[in-house]
Structure 1
Amino acid sequence: MSQDVARPSLSDALTERMLELIRSGGLRAGDRLPSARELSRRFAVTTPTLREALRRLEATGAIQLRHGSGIYVGADLERVVIPNPNVRTLGGGRLLQLLDARLLIEPPLAAQAARRSEAADLDRLRSVLDDASHHLSGDDNRLHDANMAFHRAAATAAGNSVLEEVIDSLLSVHASEQREIQRIFDDRTRDYEEHRAILGAIERGDGPGAEDHMRAHLAEVKDVIEERIAEG
């Protein structure tokens, strides 16, 4: 068997051993790992093989490689759903499918958030909307970030970490398209008020209301995209 065929299995095994090192050591996000030289000695592998495993782990967010500093446990170590950072700008049909996915997932999550959100969840939702209010006539990128943070916070408040990751991934996948939606929609105040309506229903514990407001909001976004695609 050639070295090229055998090597991936060695890298796979090393990746698993690295993950076991992190978990058995009780390490958390931000904790520092041994140096690459120490890891090579510990696992009795060459530096190129170790680097391949480290690149795999970095690609999934399990570790962070900080130039001149070292190797650290990443924030996404236990993440179930991981966005693809290499995806190109999405075509119209694919983008509409992503929006359909959000329409299926986010309204029920908003209803769940209304039923089970805690004080910290509501504080987070209020905070991101307050941030958005300061950028309604200002920085496009900061407004976009605040708007997306609202949708992420609403998903977090629902209490399902897997679906929270799904929403985060979907938002990450079409971040550039969402900025374009914001530009085309060109009614920042209306967008903000729709978010306020969703938050109001969540604060009141009104599950059906939160679901209806979120669905209407996302359907409007989809209508804008469909109009844009029709115009060519």
Structure 2
Amino acid sequence: MTAVSSPMSVSRGAGAPVARRKLLDELTERILAHIRDEGLRPGDRLPSNRALSERFLVATPTLREALRRLEATGAVELRHGSGVYVRADLARLIMVNPNRLRLDATAILDLLEARELIEPHLAESAARHATDAQLDELAASLDRAGSALGVGGGPGERSGPGAGPDGALHAANMAFHRTLARLAGNRALAQVLDSLIDLHDEEQRYIQALYGDRDHDHHVHLAILAAVRGRAPVKARRLMVEHLRDVRQVVTRALEG
């Protein structure tokens, strides 16, 4: 067990500045270090609060406050009656504001424009750099989308955003975009896109509901996958540009209507 030092000034040696460490700051760092050192991944469960309190020699209320801090930044998720789970990659450089307000129409269009600027470059880079194994992972997300379309019915069928097939389709489609961004090899840009998707998740579900033909969206994703797998970066970029431009135009008409 490792005790967390009290919030006192600590000497760093001759000539070094004196750093004032707060108990909660150090405790959150120790919890993050524990997640890293144990190799815990998103979805993995942390030890119980009691076990963590004993490990770090702190009171349970202090531990809970540190965990709430980590939950606010998206590092962990507190599930009532279940425990604490790792939520995000700890190496993530960019976090979504947990206190954001509901987005207005202008903000939604700004976010879509941002995606239109970022994702074509990511698609092109993925076509250049992704390995065959990584492309299999990308294809798997579209397999899940195809299965969701099969459950949801044929072209033109619409279901509410909360319906099972729609939820599965949304998750699979967003996994496709997130995975493609990650395969491009630029961690900062991938995290920017990840944050943009997280920011308007609810709006993205609404966007999905606006399409009259979900199959068309799926076929476009398949075409992008084929271009990336075929090592055709220019084509991958062009297809992504056309795809996102179409999405933005549909959403613009809906918001202005």
TM > 0.5 fold call = yes
After alignment, is 69-78 or 137-146 more displaced? 69-78
Q: CA 1:88 to 1:38, structure 2 compared with 1: closer, same or farther past 3 Å?
A: same
2:175 aligns with: 149
Question: Superposed, which structure 2 residues align to 1:1-232 within 5 Å?
Answer: 9-23=22-36, 25-29=37-41, 30=44, 32-33=46-47, 35-37=48-50, 39-40=52-53, 43=56, 45-65=58-78, 74-136=87-149, 138=152, 139-231=165-257
Would you say the 8 A contact 2:73–2:98 is kept in 1? no
Q: CA 1:171 to 1:10, structure 2 compared with 1: closer, same or farther past 3 Å?
A: same
Per the alignment, in what secondary structure is the counterpart of residue 235 of structure 2? helix
Unaligned runs of 5+ in 2: 1-20, 153-164
**Superposition deviation, residue 42 in structure 1:** 5.5
**Deviation sequence 1:36-77 (CA, Å, 0-9, x none):** 445445555443222211211233343455656655655432
RMSD: 2.6
Would you say the 8 A contact 1:27–1:73 is kept in 2? no
**Deviation sequence 1:152-198 (CA, Å, 0-9, x none):** 12112212222222222211211221121122121212111211221
TM-score, structure 1 as length reference: 0.82
Question: Larger % of helix: which?
Answer: 1
Per the alignment, in what secondary structure is the counterpart of residue 65 of structure 2? helix
Per the alignment, in what secondary structure is the counterpart of residue 149 of structure 2? coil
Q: CA 1:167 to 1:42, structure 2 compared with 1: closer, same or farther past 3 Å?
A: same
Residues in 2 aligned to 1:65 and 1:114: alpha-carbon distance in whole angstroms: 38
Residues in 1 aligned to 2:88 and 2:145: alpha-carbon distance in whole angstroms: 25
Would you say the 8 A contact 1:62–1:78 is kept in 2? no
How many pairs were matched up?
222
Would you say the 8 A contact 1:63–1:77 is kept in 2? no
Identity level (%): 50
TM-score, structure 2 as length reference: 0.75
Unaligned runs of 5+ in 1: 1-7
After alignment, is 88-97 or 133-142 more displaced? 133-142
After alignment, is 199-208 or 68-77 more displaced? 68-77
